[in-house]
Structure 1
Amino acid sequence: MSDFFFPRLEAVEAPAPWRLCTRWSTGEVLEVDVEGVLRATPPLAPILDPAVFATARLAEGGQGIEWFDEEFGADNVYAWAQEQAGAVSHQMFGEWMHRNGLSLSTAAEALGISRRMVSYYRTAHKAIPRAIWLACLGWEATRPQARSLPRRLPTAREYAALHR
Structure 2
Amino acid sequence: MSIGKITAAVVKDGARRGSRIALEWDDGYTGIVDLTPVIAAHKALAPLADADAFRDFQIAGDGWSIEWSCGVDFGSEQLHRWAREQAGEIMPARAFRAWMQRHDMTLDAAAQALGLSRRTIAYYLSEEQVIPKTVMLATEGYDGRRAA
TM range, smaller chain: 0.5 to 0.7
1:137/1:122 CA distance change after superposition, 3 Å: farther
Which residue number in structure 1 is paired with residue 7 of structure 2? 10
| Secondary structure in 1 matching 2:146 | coil
**Residues 27-66 of structure 1 correspond to what in structure 2 (within 5 A)?**
27-66=28-67
- Partners in 1 of 2:48 and 2:82 — Cα distance? 18
Q: Compared with structure 1, are the counterparts of its residues 132 and 89 closer, same or farther at alpha carbon in structure 2 (3 Å cutoff)?
A: closer
Q: Does 1:132 align with 2:124?
A: no
Shift of 1:110: 5.3
Q: Is the 8 A contact 2:23 2:31 kept in 1?
A: yes
Aligned counterpart in structure 1 of residue 86 of structure 2, from 64, 72, 84: 84
**1:24-53 deviations in Å (ceiling 9; x for gaps):** 123122112112211221111111222211
Q: Counterparts of 1:57 and 1:30 in 2: how far apart (Å)?
A: 17
Counterpart mapping for 1:66-145 below 5 A = 66-68=67-69, 69-89=71-91, 91=93, 95=97, 102=107, 107=111, 111-112=114-115, 123-124=129-130, 128-129=132-133, 131-138=134-141
What does the per-residue CA deviation read over 1:136-159, in whole Å, with 9 as the maximum and x for residues that have no partner? 4555x59xxxxxxxxxx3337xxx
CA distance change for structure 1 residues 102 and 26 in 2, over 3 Å: closer, same or farther? Answer: farther
3-state SS of 2:137 partner: helix
Which ranges of structure 2 fall in alignment gaps of 5 or more residues? none
Mark the CA change 1:136 to 1:25 in structure 2 (over 3 Å): closer, same or farther: farther
Residues 104-134 of structure 1 show CA distances to partners (whole Å, capped at 9, x for unaligned) of xx84x6544689x987x9535xx824x3322
In 2, distance between residues paired with 1:26 and 1:94?
27
Aligned residues: 136
Is the radius of gyration larger for structure 1 or structure 2? 1
Which TM-score applies when normalising by structure 1? 0.60
Shift of 1:67: 0.6
- Name stretches of at least 5 consecutive residues in structure 1 with no aligned partner: 143-152, 157-164
Could you list the per-position Cα deviations for residues 37-84 of structure 1 after superposition, in whole angstroms to 9, with x for gaps in the alignment? 112211111112222111121124332221121112222221221122
Assess, with a 3 A threshold, how the Cα gap between structure 1 residues 62 and 89 changes in structure 2: closer, same or farther.
Answer: farther
Counterparts of 1:155 and 1:11 in 2: how far apart (Å)? 44
RMSD of aligned Cα (Å):
3.7
* Inter-CA distance 20–96: structure 2 relative to 1 (3 Å threshold): same
C-alpha change, 1:88 and 1:57, in structure 2 (3 Å) is: same
Identity %: 28
